[in-house]
């Protein structure tokens, strides 16, 4: 019995050692396997994040006539480096795998188009896998369609993508058109629906369309309430019983922040003044910010005779201000002058804005002045004539004043009858032959439509 007990203890000890050795061996194998896996992963050298397939849009039913049918693959890729899309066949009667190289470099989200066709009536299931430039692969995504050789309508929509661009707070972009065609052999009726409230369709149904007939749908964008950035939408066109239905149109809207926009009105000013006169009346410029960002503006002139009521200011979007423009007449002679007002706004569209200014200074007209306004002579009847007196002729205006003088009646004598102002005119009377009494006469002096008259006393 003691031997049996000892033998059992030996067996237990031996068994324990064997088990421990085996456990150590298993641990070594696991460490070696994990190391090999780690080395394999390091050897691949993959970096970045794998792309993701977000959606596949392709008609559930197409016509087996060999004509290419378009579909869309939606994707997300944080690295923006999707390089290719592999389409492998999961189930089909007669269909070949193919690869698409999408032109989406730099895009982190969007969709790209693919085309396929078949002449064999069959049901096809394809698996799509995206691969980026680093070799990272997306999770695969399957889709199926049935190619039928039936006499039926066939839906064709063109284009399958629309792109709009606009500025926040600005005008909506121009409408774009979709063409819906019946490419089949039977009449086609269709319905259209947009999945975003900023998308508006001119019509949402149509038909029946005869084979090869077309109809158009105008697509417009409503910017109300939208912020800067990119918006994605879809328009789905369905035609019951038709091949290639439904057709999906991808719509992208890019909204940019509208910069400040400088607008100045009017673009030209005209002033008129008289030489030596007072300054011409002021006029007004209106400076407006029709953009989407604040505007700081400055105004300068290139002529010393051009003065501004304000030379700088700030405007919020939609605001405007008036600036008075004055003319300094000091030292200005007759003639026409050109000046310029320049308004700038840093970073603003429409900057700089230039206002052309024309100033016409006219010659001041001549003004005839004669003094004194009356002359009075006295003398004895039959005696000597009284002493002569003088008139002063002056031009209190501008330019040159040439004058002409005449006297009535003949007993009034003038030292000259023509001259240029300023001048002194001597007036004398001939009393000989005049009997006692009071006599009145008139001296008339004229110059270029101007007239001054002097009347001697009786």
pLDDT (tens digit per residue) in 322-364: 999 999 988 888 899 999 999 999 989 899 999 999 999 888 7
Q: Using 50, 70 and 90 to split pLDDT, how confident is the model at 30?
A: very low
Q: Is pLDDT of 9 > 80?
A: no
Mapping DSSP onto H, E and C, the string for 325-391 reads EEECCCCCCCEEEEEEEEEEECCCECCCEEEEEEEEEECCCCCEEEECCEECCCCCCCCCCCCCEEE
Q: Using 50, 70 and 90 to split pLDDT, how confident is the model at 366?
A: confident
CA–CA gap between residue 287 and residue 191 (Å, rounded): 50
Phi first, then psi, for residue 388 (nearest 5°) are -65, 160
pLDDT at 24: 55
Q: Tokens at residue 376, please?
A: 């009075």
More confident residue, 287 or 148: 287
Among 40-44, 260-264, 427-431, which is the least confidently predicted range? 40-44
For 287-319, b/e burial (b = at least 16 CB within 10 A) is: bbbbbbbebebebebeeebbebeeeeeebeeee
pLDDT at 439: 86
3-state secondary structure of 342: strand
Residue matched to tokens 């016409």: 360
Task: Give the percent of the chain with pLDDT over 90.
Answer: 62
Q: Is pLDDT of 34 > 50?
A: no
Question: From the CB of residue 24, how many other CB atoms can be counted at a distance below 10 Å?
Answer: 10
pLDDT at 40: 37
Q: Is pLDDT of 151 > 80?
A: no
CA–CA gap between residue 340 and residue 355 (Å, rounded): 6
Question: From the CB of residue 181, how many other CB atoms can be counted at a distance below 10 Å?
Answer: 17
């Amino acid at each position: 019995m003691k031997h049996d007990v000892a033998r059992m203890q030996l067996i237990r000890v031996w068994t324990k050692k064997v088990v421990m050795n085996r456990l150590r061996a298993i641990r070594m194998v696991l460490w070696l396997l994990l190391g090999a896996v780690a080395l394999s992963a390091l050897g691949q050298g993959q970096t970045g994040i794998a792309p993701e397939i977000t959606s596949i849009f392709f008609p559930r039913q197409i016509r087996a006539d060999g004509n290419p049918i378009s579909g869309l693959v939606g994707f997300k890729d944080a690295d923006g480096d999707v390089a290719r899309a592999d389409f492998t066949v999961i189930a089909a009667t007669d269909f070949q795998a193919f690869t698409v190289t999408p032109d989406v470099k730099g895009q982190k989200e969007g969709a790209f188009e693919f085309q396929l066709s078949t002449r064999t009536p069959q049901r096809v299931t394809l698996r799509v896998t995206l691969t980026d430039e680093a070799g990272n692969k997306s999770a695969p995504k399957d889709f199926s369609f049935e190619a039928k050789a039936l006499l039926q309508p066939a839906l064709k929509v063109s284009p399958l993508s629309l792109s709009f661009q606009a500025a926040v707070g600005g005008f909506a972009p121009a409408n774009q058109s979709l063409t819906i065609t019946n490419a089949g052999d039977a009449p086609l009726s269709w319905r259209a629906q947009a999945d975003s409230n900023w998308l508006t369709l001119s019509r949402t149904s149509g038909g029946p369309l005869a084979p090869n007939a077309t109809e158009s749908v105008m697509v417009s964008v409503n910017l109300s309430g939208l912020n800067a950035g990119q918006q994605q939408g879809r328009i789905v066109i369905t035609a019951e019983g038709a091949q290639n239905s439904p057709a999906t149109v991808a719509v992208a809207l890019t909204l940019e922040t509208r910069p400040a926009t400088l607008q100045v009105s009017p673009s030209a000013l005209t002033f008129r003044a008289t030489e030596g006169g007072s300054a011409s009346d002021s006029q007004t410029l209106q400076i407006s910010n029709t953009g989407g960002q604040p505007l700081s503006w400055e105004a300068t002139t290139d002529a010393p005779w051009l003065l501004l009521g304000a030379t700088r200011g700030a405007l919020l979007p939609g605001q405007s201000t008036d600036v008075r423009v004055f003319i300094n007449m000091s030292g200005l002679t007759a003639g026409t002058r050109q000046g310029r007002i320049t308004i700038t706004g840093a970073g603003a569209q429409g900057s700089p804005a230039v206002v052309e200014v024309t100033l016409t200074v006219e010659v001041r007209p001549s003004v005839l002045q004669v003094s004194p306004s009356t002359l009075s002579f006295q003398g004895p009847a039959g005696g000597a004539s009284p002493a002569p007196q003088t008139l002063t002729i002056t031009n209190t205006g501008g330019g040159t004043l040439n004058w002409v003088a005449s006297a009535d009646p003949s007993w009034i004598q003038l030292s000259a009858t023509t001259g240029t102002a300023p001048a002194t005119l001597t007036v004398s009377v001939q009393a000989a032959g005049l009997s006692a009494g009071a006599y009145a006469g008139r001296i008339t002096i004229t110059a270029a439509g101007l007239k001054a008259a002097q009347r001697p006393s009786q």
